[in-house]
């Protein structure tokens, strides 16, 4: 039995605002998707990676992963067309896994600086018997629930949430394969509607009534969503040199 990763890279990157899919945007000369795949390879516990990509970009991504390996490593890569939502892309990745895979890590290409130790921590927790595991960080802002905005755009606060009980969830999220497949099958009707699709895979597992466990995440596992995130990632890399 082995562990595989599904690396989601089929998004367009609207909020980043480049004229190419976000996963192809370069950070210090390396596309985000290649950085993310290298992080998975460095962890040492992943035996294969399935990358979900925009349907019209399959050849371009295949060229990035020449020889169907993560560049600079021997880790095998399969490129598959993703779907209309992240949930649909993960479902497409699941369908492409080899038979011998029993643990699946689902990771965002957009979280391309995730340290390998986070990957190994999540995978080890699944192997230890926690069938659904997410890395996460405590929240540092005060979080308030709000109601509908009034005519001026100001929204009334309806509650202040106890932040001690909250966590901001990252990827990779790790799962027993059978559980993840059951969760995606049960949530399949939501997959093609962005408004109803699950924003993460653990949410589909929770909807089944199954337990999801949290392990420590990492500041560097930030999701590159906006130009500000990309600038922050550049600063983090510069700080390393
Ligand atoms: N249909 C989709 C949408 C998203 N993703 C992937 O899911 C991850 C998290 O999505 P997000 O950061 O929201 O990326 P985009 O959807 O590209 O961003 P935007 O909403 O700004 O277009 C990304 O690695 C993205 O490539 C995917 O594989 N398939
Ligand atoms: C999966 C995820 O990265 C966990 O925080 C997040 O939910 C993805 O959300 P997005 O709106 O698809 O970026």
Domain boundaries, the chain: 2-240
Query: Which of 16, 86, 96, 192 for a ligand 1 pocket mutation test, highest count of atoms within 8 Å of Cβ?
Result: 86
Surface-to-core class of residue 128, CB atoms within 10 Å of its CB (0-12 exposed, 13-18 middle, 19+ buried): exposed
* ipTM surpasses cut 0.90: yes
Name the burial class of residue 183, with classes exposed (0-12), middle (13-18) and buried (19+) by CB atoms within 10 angstroms of its CB: buried
Does residue 199 line the site of ligand 2, with CB under 6 A? yes
Instruction: Look up residue 89 and give its two tokens.
Output: 């892309």
Q: How far apart are CA 176 and CA 165, in angstroms?
A: 25
pLDDT of 239 reads 82
Q: What is the mean pLDDT of each run of 10 residues along the chain (241 residues)?
A: 98 95 96 98 98 97 97 97 98 98 98 98 98 98 97 97 97 98 97 96 98 98 98 92 73
Nearest to residue 8, comparing CAs of 92, 75, 71?
92
How many A from CA of 59 to the centre of ligand 2?
Answer: 26
Q: Which of 8, 32, 109 to mutate to test the pocket of ligand 1 (most atoms within 8 A of CB)?
A: 8
**Residue whose CA is at the smallest distance from ligand 2 atom 11:** 199
Minimal-distance CA residue to ligand 1 atom 8: 108
Return the CATH class of domain 2-240: alpha beta
Pocket flag, ligand 2, residue 121 (CB < 6 Å): no
How many angstroms is it from 13 CA to the middle of ligand 1?
A: 6
List, as one string, the DSSP characters of 151-204: TTS---EEEE--GGG-EEE-S-EEEEHHHHHHHHHHTGGGTT-TTTS-SSHHHH
Provide the pLDDT for residue 70. Answer: 98
pLDDT of 241 = 73
User: What's the pLDDT at 174?
Assistant: 99
Q: State the distance from the centre of ligand 1 to the C-alpha of 10, rounded, in angstroms.
A: 6
């Amino acid at each position: 039995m082995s562990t595989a990763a599904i690396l989601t890279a089929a998004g367009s990157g609207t909020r980043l605002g480049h004229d190419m899919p976000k996963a192809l945007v370069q950070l210090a000369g390396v596309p985000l998707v290649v950085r993310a795949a290298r992080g998975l390879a460095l962890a040492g516990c992943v035996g294969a990676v399935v990358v979900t990509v925009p349907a019209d970009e399959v050849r371009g991504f295949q060229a990035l992963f020449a020889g169907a390996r993560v560049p600079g490593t021997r880790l095998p890569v399969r490129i598959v067309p993703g779907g209309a939502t992240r949930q649909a892309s993960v479902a497409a990745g699941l369908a492409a896994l080899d038979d011998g895979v029993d643990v699946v890590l689902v990771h965002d290409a957009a979280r391309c600086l995730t340290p390998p130790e986070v990957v190994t921590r999540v995978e080890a927790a699944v192997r230890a018997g926690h069938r659904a595991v997410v890395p996460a960080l405590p929240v540092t802002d005060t979080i308030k629930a709000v109601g509908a905005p009034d005519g001026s755009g100001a929204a009334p606060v309806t509650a202040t949430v106890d932040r001690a009980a909250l966590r901001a969830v990252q990827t990779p999220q790790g799962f027993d394969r059978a559980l993840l497949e059951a969760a995606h099958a049960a949530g399949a009707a939501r997959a093609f509607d962005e408004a109803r699709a699950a924003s993460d895979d653990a949410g589909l597992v929770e909807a089944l009534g199954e337990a999801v466990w949290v392990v420590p995440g990492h500041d560097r596992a930030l999701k590159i969503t906006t130009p500000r995130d990309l600038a922050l990632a550049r600063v983090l890399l510069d700080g390393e040199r």
